[in-house]
Chain A
Amino acid sequence: MDAEADSMANPYVIYPATIVGKIREAEDINTYRLRFVDEQARRQFRFKAGQFNMVYLFGVGEVAISIVSDPDEPALLDHTIRAVGRITKAIADLRTGDVLGIRGPFGQGWPLEEARGRNMVIVTGGLGCAPVVGAIEYILRRRTQYGSVTILHGVKTPQDLLYRERFDAWRRFPDTEVLLTSDQPDKSWSYHIGVVTELFELVSIDPPKSIVLMCGPEIMMRLGVPILIRRGIPATAIYVSLERHMECGIGLCGHCQMGPYFLCKDGPVMRYDRVAQWLGRTGV
C-alpha cells in the first residue's frame, strides 16, 4: 500500500507548515504567511479564493480560517487570524519560524472566475472580514478582467476600521470606488456617517451587470439584501459569506449547519437565494 496515497485519502491528516512571515494588522489581528514543510504538499496544494483551511497548533487544536492570499500562488498561504478564542490566542504568541498545521482546502469560495467581466459590488461590515479582503485583492490584481469595482465598508466606531492603508490603496485603482461609513463616529472620522446599507443610495449600480459579494454580520445581509433586490439585482447575483462553528471542515461534525446546509462544505460562500429563508431565523 502506498502510504502517501493513503494519507492523501484521509481528510483528517494535518500537514506541518512553517510561519515564514507575520504581519500585524491590528492589536489582536495578525496575518501569517505559511509554507508547507513537506515538498509534495507544497506542490499539490491548490485552492480557490474564499476557501478555508483548518489551521492547527500542536497540542492545542484546530480552527477554521479563510485563505486570503492569491490562489495563483498556492505555495504560500496567508491566513489573517484574530485572537478571540483558546486556539487563536495561543497562535497569536507564535513567531516567524514556528510551525502550524494545515488541513484543507475546504468549502466553496467566491464565484470570481464566473464573475469575470461583471461589475463587482463588495459590501462588508464589522471587524476584519478577512474572507472578502482576499477576494478584493484577487479582483484588483486582475483589474482589467472585471468591470467597475465598488467597495462599501461599514464599521461601528472609527477604531474598528482595519486595513485603512489597504482601503486607500484600493481606492487608487481605476474605476474603483471605496466608501467607508461609521454609525458611531467621533470627530476624527472624515468618511460617511450611518450604517453600510445607507451607502447603497450613494453609488450607481447597474443591476444586470453586477455581482454582489457580502461579508459581515447576518443582520447586515438580512437588511441589506432586500434593498439591493429592490434596486433590481437578482438574488442569484448576490453571494454571502456565512459563519458558523466549523470543527471538521468536511461536513461531518454537524456544528456548522444552517437549515439543510453544512456551511463548511456547501459554504461558507452561499448564493443568497439558497439561504434567504434561513437567514435571520432564530436558532438556525
Chain B
Amino acid sequence: MATRPTTQFGTERTGICIMSIASEMRGILPTANLQRLLDALSAKGYRIIGPTAHDGSVVWETVRSVSDLPIGWRDQQEPGRYRLEQTASQEVFGVVHGPQSLKPFVFAPREPLLQIERTKDGFAPRQMIPQLEKVAVIGARACDLAGLTVQDRIFLNDAYRDPYYAARREGLFVIAVNCVRALSTCFCASMETGPRAKTGFDLALTEVDDRLLIEAGSEAGFDLLSDLSLSPAPQKLLDEAATRVDACGHSQVRRLERSRLPQALYDAHEHPRWDDVAGCCLACTNCTMVCPTCFCHAAEETPDLDHQQTAHVRLWDSCFTQEHGYIHGKNIRPTIKDRYRMWLTHKLASWIDQFGMSGCVGCGRCITWCPVGIDLTEELSALLVPASRSSVTSQQVEGP
C-alpha cells in the first residue's frame, strides 16, 4: 500500500533513517531506462538541468535526453588540474563534478534586484523577483547539497530573508547522485557532508553497474517515484550500493582537521604560513567563484543612456579583490596575505560563529580550480602547528 510517508520528511534524516525507508520509497531503474525519469520530470513541468561535457569540463546545461549526459566520461582532479577522460564504460554519472555547484541556481551570479524608473516624484522601483520556474537538477553531489544547506541558512534563515533567493529555491527539485568514486581533491568524509546524500534532496540515485537505485527524499520526490512504478530494490543491491558509497568515503586521501576550529585558526593569525601561501596566491578569485557556499556580493547600478531607467543589480563578489575591504581613504586588506587569511579564516572559523556551521563542505573545488594548486587542507594543517614548529611537514602533522 502506497501510503504517503510524510512523517519521513521535514527533519534531517540520519543514516539510520535511510536504512528504515519503506520499500515503496525506493526502486530500481535499469540505467538503459533513465530516459523514463527525465520524461517523468518533463511531464511534471520541470526544466531538467544536468552535467554536460563542454570545453574540457562539465557544466550544467538543460538536458532533454540521456545522451546529453556525459556517458562514459570521468573527471580527474588534482590541485590546479582538471581533466575529462573518456572511458569504455557506459557510466552516466562517472564525472563527479565540474566547477559549478548548485549555488548559481539559487544565488544567481547576476541578480537584478530593482528596476527603477524616473518619475515626476523622483523615482519608482519595481521589484525584480524571479518568476517561479520549476527546475530539476540531476547529478548534484552530497557536497553540493551540503552547500545548499549552508546557503539556505544564510539567505533564508538569518536576520533578513532574501526574496530573490527564496523564489529561485522554491522551484528547485534536486536529484542527487551518491558518490561511488572519490577524487584526489575530495574530503567530504572528514567534513561529514558526504559521500552519501543525507538530506535536502528530492531523489537520490546510486549508480551500480548498469542499474540505478533511486530513493525519495521528499514528498515531491516520492510522487515522482510513484509515477515511475519501479521494481523494488533487492537487498543485495542495496547492500552493494551502500558498500560502494562507504568505500568511496574511505578512499578519500584528503581530510580537514576541524576539531579545534574556530579558535585554533583565530589563534594562528600571526602565523608565518600566511606569508608562504600569499607568495603563491594570485588573488584570482577562482576559489570563491567555485565555492558552493561563498556568498559575498556587490551592488551595481546600470542606468540606461537616457538616464530614465536604471537597474539595481547584485553580482557575485570576492574577498580576494582589491575593492572588497576598501573604505574611504584606506583598504582594510591591502595585501594578498590579508585577503587569503580573511578567506580561510572566514570559511573555516568565523563562519561557525556566524552561522553555526562550517563554510566548507569538502567538495575540493577550490583546490582543483586554483591555478597554482593551493590546498586549503594542507594550509590548515600547517597553520595548526605552532609557528616555532612550522618546519614540520604537513604529512607528519596529519598523522594516521
Write the chain B residue with the least CB distance to A251.
B159
Among A37, A84, A252, max chain B CB count under 10 A is at A252
The reply to whether the CB of B118 lies closer than 8 angstroms to some CB of chain A is: yes
**A 3-51 contacts with B by CB, 8 A:** 6-7, 9-14, 16, 18, 37
**From B121, B317, B341, contact of A37 by CB (8 A):** B121
Q: Is the CB of B125 within 8 A of A9?
A: no
Among B160, B300, B326, max chain A CB count under 10 A is at B160
Write the chain A residue with the least CB distance to B349.
A260
The reply to whether the CB of A254 lies closer than 8 angstroms to some CB of chain B is: yes
Q: Is the CB of A99 within 8 A of B301?
A: no
**From A61, A252, A254, contact of B158 by CB (8 A):** A252
The reply to whether the CB of B163 lies closer than 8 angstroms to some CB of chain A is: yes
The reply to whether the CB of B32 lies closer than 8 angstroms to some CB of chain A is: no
Residues of A within 8 A of B295 (CB): 252, 254
**Interface residue stretch chosen among A149-157, A159-167, A198-206, A241-249:** A241-249
Q: Is the CB of A260 within 8 A of B299?
A: no
**From B127, B266, B296, B350, contact of A253 by CB (8 A):** B296
In the complex, A137 Cα to B301 Cα: how many Å? 35
Q: Is the CB of A283 within 8 A of B333?
A: yes
Residues of A within 8 A of B123 (CB): 16, 58, 99, 101
Q: Is the CB of A9 within 8 A of B114?
A: no
Q: Is the interface of B mostly helix, strand, loop or mixed?
A: mixed
Given contacts A58-B310, A283-B338, A283-B342, contact A262 B122 (CB under 8 A): no
In the complex, A243 Cα to B327 Cα: how many Å? 8
The reply to whether the CB of B168 lies closer than 8 angstroms to some CB of chain A is: no
Among A11, A58, A61, A282, max chain B CB count under 10 A is at A58
**B 335-354 contacts with A by CB, 8 A:** 335, 337-339, 341-342, 346, 350, 353-354
In the complex, A260 Cα to B326 Cα: how many Å? 18
Given contacts A84-B328, A282-B338, contact A10 B163 (CB under 8 A): yes
In the complex, A208 Cα to B163 Cα: how many Å? 46
Residues of A within 8 A of B332 (CB): 244-245, 283-284
**A 232-272 contacts with B by CB, 8 A:** 243-245, 247-248, 250-255, 257, 259-260, 262, 265
Residues of B within 8 A of A84 (CB): 328-329
In the complex, A13 Cα to B115 Cα: how many Å? 10
Residues of A within 8 A of B154 (CB): 252
Say how far A260's CB is from chain B's closest CB, in angstroms. Answer: 3
Q: Mark B289-333, 1 if CB is under 8 A from A, else 0.
A: 000000111111101000100101010010100001111110011
**From B114, B118, B301, contact of A60 by CB (8 A):** B301
Q: Is the CB of B161 within 8 A of A9?
A: yes
Extra A-B contacts (14), CB below 8 Å, given A10-B163, A14-B114, A282-B338 = A9-B163, A13-B127, A16-B122, A59-B310, A60-B301, A61-B300, A244-B327, A252-B158, A252-B162, A254-B324, A255-B298, A257-B346, A259-B350, A283-B339
